[in-house]
């Protein structure tokens, strides 16, 4: 949606094996992604590996890989604000949409949560497959959004485990009971890191809400109406990115190494 | 996502033919929707017809219709804020998602817009079919979100037509050029009505942006990263609903007739 987005070189997250001296070799899914974007010889792109961003120029597009020469190195600046989303597991592919949109918007980490009204029960290999799927969705979304870092996709936790281990930054709970919620600006008060819990369809139950409040989670509203759980997850990140201190500054401003 | 949403009676938008004296008869798609929600005899629901909300109790569920007695009438309060979304046409079903999510969040009207980078060309019957489809999506989303009014789904317009006819409230343009955008709070300055243009993939072109600025549209940012057009449409409504004056008050507070 960025006007003239075509003028910003595309960005890819690469693996250590793809950086060879003064060359970068895009292979496998990164190659396919670059190919789909019609990256061609002579064009510039950005490649991020950990905290380093490489500026590169395509030399050769072969079947299966793209070879490029590194023309610059910068350190990726840390994100100016951090938003951690704790979203209840949802049926079908609903969380794919949340991961995709929340990543584009700037989410720092994503933790799927089991609550009392959560319907899907994911364990073992099924859980692992889901986590891997969300990581792929997040990577694709991060690349297309041009953000300089990947969101961390964490393991599935129960709500009690989240309460016990604690969360980073201001603890928030997406909640809809009028009269109970606190204004987001007051709740976050200039802080640049927050964690927000978003319940499943039907919401957290009364006992879970009570536990969250006991644990210091501050109830905030995402709007006056009843949102589907997936909409609430997306709106939570959109609204916090818009309202929290520092978030609106891009963290692509990096310094040359 | 609303905690205890189950305790709020479901809401349906009905047609004049469904209100008969002291009875309401849910038929056709409204019947199917109510059936899917397992509405059963003795249960309460809300039915909205224009500016009147009926409180009703189900008497009978027959094959094809649900008959209910009206037990109360209230006037639906006007929405405390109005957000009009002007979204560039997108490929495939992307705008369905925008209409659904923006309706849940509280959008007042939706106008699909043809811009220079717009790919789908919708005219005649195809355009009509799309508008009807978005109206159905909006109705379903409005019902499930419990909002007291339907968003207006308007006809497809070119961007020039939008500029020529003008828009309601503060004219905003979703824009990503750092340094050019104005803070949303300053742009809307306590107003309770705004119209926002969201461009297609690749954004508005430079000439269109220039025309928008000439016409008084204020460029605002929806966040630091490059958003897909569909994400931008959803984020625009989420962010404006969260930041504009009055928006966070529900307009379901109605007074008895």
Contact B222 A231 (CB under 8 A): no
Confidence grade of residue B1 (pLDDT, cut at 50, 70, 90): very low
State how far the Cα of B213 lies from the Cα of B89, in Å rounded to an integer: 21
Q: pLDDT tens digit string along A64-96?
A: 999 999 999 999 888 889 999 999 999 888 999
Q: What is the pLDDT of residue B255?
A: 52
Angstroms from B238 CA to nearest CA on chain A: 6
Structural domain boundaries enclosing B41 = 5-75
Name the domain count of chain B. 2
Last residue of a domain, one of B22, B42, B75: B75
The answer to whether residues B54 and B100 belong to one domain is: no
A217 interaction partners in chain B (CB closer than 8 Å): none
Q: Are B244 and B192 in contact (CB under 8 A)?
A: yes
Q: Do A3 and B203 touch (CB under 8 A)?
A: yes
Q: What per-residue confidence (pLDDT) applies to A252?
A: 47
Task: Give the A:B interface size as CB pairs under 8 Å.
Answer: 178
List chain B residues with CB under 8 Å of A238: 222-223, 234-235, 238-239
Of A201, A202, A248, Cβ closest to residue B223: A248
Q: Do residues A220 and B24 make contact, with C-beta atoms less than 8 angstroms apart?
A: no
B12 lies in the same domain as B68: yes
- Average pLDDT on B159-182 reads 91
Listed in sequence order, the residues at least 6 apart from B244 whose beta carbon sits closer than 8 Å to its beta carbon are B81, B83, B184, B188, B191, B192, B194
Task: Judge if A89 and A211 occupy the same domain.
Answer: yes
Q: Which residues in chain A touch residue B224, judged by CB atoms under 8 angstroms apart? A: 106, 147, 241, 247-252
Q: Do both B220 and B123 map to the same domain?
A: yes
Q: What is the mean pLDDT of residues B91-115?
A: 96
**Same domain flag for B119 and B225:** yes
- Rounded to the nearest integer, the mean pLDDT of chain A is 90
Among the partner-chain residues A146, A176, A231, the one whose CB lies closest to the CB of B3 is A176
The answer to whether residues B21 and B55 belong to one domain is yes
* pLDDT at position B78: 81
Q: What is the ipTM of this complex?
A: 0.88
Phi-psi region for residue A205, left (φ > 0), alpha (ψ -120 to 50) or beta? beta
Please indicate, yes or no, whether residues B19 and B111 belong to a single structural domain of this protein.
Answer: no
Instruction: State whether B199 and A6 contact (CB < 8 Å).
Output: no
Residue A95 forms part of a structural domain: yes
Residues of B in contact with A199 (CB under 8 A): 1, 3
Output the domain CATH number for residue A228. 3.40.1280.10
The verdict on B107 and B212 lying in the same domain is yes
Which chain B residue shows the shortest CA-CA distance from A144?
B226
Residue B256, in any domain of the structure: no
Which helix or strand (DSSP H or E) is residue A54 part of?
strand A52-62
> What are residue A57's DSSP bridge partners?
A44, A69
Percent of chain A with pLDDT over 90: 72
| pLDDT 10s digits, A190-232 | 999 999 999 999 899 999 999 999 999 999 999 888 899 999 9
Q: What is the pLDDT of residue B249?
A: 66
| Interface-testing mutation among B82, B95, B181, B225, with chain A (most A C-beta atoms within 10 A) | B225
d(CA A234, CA A223): 12
Q: Are residues A62 and A91 in the same domain?
A: no
The DSSP annotation for B83-123 comes to EEEEEE--STTHHHHHHHHHHHHT--EEEEEE-TT------
Q: For an interface test with A, which of B3, B183, B243 has the most A Cβ atoms less than 10 Å from its Cβ?
A: B3
Is A228 within a domain?
A: yes
Task: Give the Cα separation of A24 and A6 in Å (integer).
Answer: 22
* pLDDT tens-place string over residues B32-46: 989 988 999 999 999
Q: Is the dihedral of CA A152, A158, A160, A161 positive or negative?
A: negative
Q: Tell me the pLDDT band of A249, cut-offs 50, 70 and 90.
A: low
A32 occurs within a structural domain: yes
Q: Would you say residue B252 lies in a domain?
A: no
Give the CATH number of the domain where residue B38 resides: 2.40.240.20
Q: Note the pLDDT of residue A207.
A: 96
| Domain end point (choices B35, B54, B75) | B75
Determine, yes or no, domain membership for A251: no
Same domain, A116 and A213: yes
Is residue A196 within 8 A of residue A238, CB to CB? The reply is: no
**Which of A25, A52, A75 is the last residue before a domain boundary?**
A75
DSSP letters, chain B, are --TTGGGSPPEEE--GGGEETTEEEEEHHHHHHHHHTT--TT-EEEEEETTEEEEEEEEEEETTEEEEEEEEEEEPPPPSSEEEEEEE--STTHHHHHHHHHHHHT--EEEEEE-TT------HHHHHHHHHHHHHHHHHHHHHHT-SSPPEEPPPEEHHHHHHH--SSEEEEE---TTT---HHHHHTT-SEEEEEE--TT-S-HHHHHHHHHTTPEEE-S-SSPPPHHHHHHHHHHHHHHHSTTTTS-S---EE-
Residue B202: its chain A contacts at CB < 8 A?
Answer: 1, 5-6
* pLDDT of res. B167: 98
Write the CA distances from A76 to A49, A150, A239, B63, integer angstroms: 9, 12, 25, 62
How far off is chain A from B131, nearest CA to CA, in Å?
A: 22
Per-residue confidence (pLDDT) for residue A7, from 0 to 100: 64
Mean pLDDT throughout B142-155? 92
A136-159 in b/e form (b: 16+ CB < 10 A) is: ebbbbbbbbbbbbbbbebeebbeb
Any domain includes A249: no
Q: How close is the nearest chain A Cα to the Cα of B39, in Å?
A: 16
Q: With 70 as the cut, is the pLDDT of residue A119 above it?
A: yes
Kindly report, residue by residue over B112-123, the tens digit of the pLDDT.
Answer: 999 999 887 888
Note whether B179 and B88 are same-domain residues.
Answer: yes
**For A251, which DSSP code?**
S
Residue A37 scores a pLDDT above 80? yes
In what helix (H) or strand (E) does residue A46 lie, and over which residues does it extend?
strand A44-49
Mutation to test the B interface, candidates A9, A238, A245, A252, most B Cβ within 10 Å: A238
| Residues from chain B contacting residue A248 (CB–CB below 8 Å) | 221, 223-224
d(CA B236, CA B215): 20
Residue B254 domain flag = no
Query: Domain check: are B154 and B136 in the same one?
Result: yes
Whole-number pLDDT of residue A212: 97
User: Which of A146, A176, A248 is the closest to B2 by Cβ?
Assistant: A176
pLDDT band at B252 (very low <50, low <70, confident <90, very high): very low
More confident residue, B233 or A251: B233
Tell me how far apart the alpha carbons of residues B98 and B233 are, in angstroms, rounded to a whole number.
6
Nearest to B1 among A226, A238, A243 (CB): A226
**Chain B residue closest in CA terms to A219:** B3
Chain A residues in contact with B106 by the CB 8 A cut-off are: 223-225
pLDDT, average across residues B240-247: 91
Q: Which of A215, A203, A206 is nearest to A174 (CA)?
A: A203
Element (H or E) spanning A207, and its range?
Answer: helix A206-214
């Amino acid at each position: 949606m960025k006007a003239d987005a075509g003028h910003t070189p595309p960005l890819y997250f690469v693996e250590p094996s793809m950086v060879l001296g003064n060359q970068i070799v895009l292979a496998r899914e990164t190659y396919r992604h670059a190919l789909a974007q019609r990256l061609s010889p002579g064009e510039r792109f950005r490649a991020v590996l950990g905290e380093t961003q490489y500026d590169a120029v395509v030399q050769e597009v072969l079947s299966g890989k793209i070879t490029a020469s590194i023309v610059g190195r910068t350190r990726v600046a840390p994100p100016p604000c951090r938003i951690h989303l704790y979203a209840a597991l949802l049926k079908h592919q609903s969380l794919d949409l949340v991961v995709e949109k929340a990543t584009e918007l700037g989410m720092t980490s994503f933790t799927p949560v089991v609550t009392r009204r959560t319907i899907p029960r994911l364990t073992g290999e099924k859980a692992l497959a889901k986590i891997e799927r969300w990581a792929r969705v997040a990577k694709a979304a991060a690349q297309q959004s041009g953000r300089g870092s990947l969101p961390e996709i964490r393991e599935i936790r129960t709500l009690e485990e989240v309460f016990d281990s604690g969360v980073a930054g201001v603890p928030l709970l997406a909640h809809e009971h009028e009269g109970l919620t606190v204004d987001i600006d007051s709740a976050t008060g200039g802080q640049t890191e927050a964690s927000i819990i978003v319940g499943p369809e039907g919401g957290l139950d009364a006992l879970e809400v009570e536990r969250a409040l006991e644990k210091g989670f501050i109830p905030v509203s995402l709007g006056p109406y009843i949102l589907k759980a997936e909409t609430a997850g997306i709106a939570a990140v959109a609204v916090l990115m818009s309202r929290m201190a520092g978030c609106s500054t891009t963290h692509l401003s990096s310094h040359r190494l």
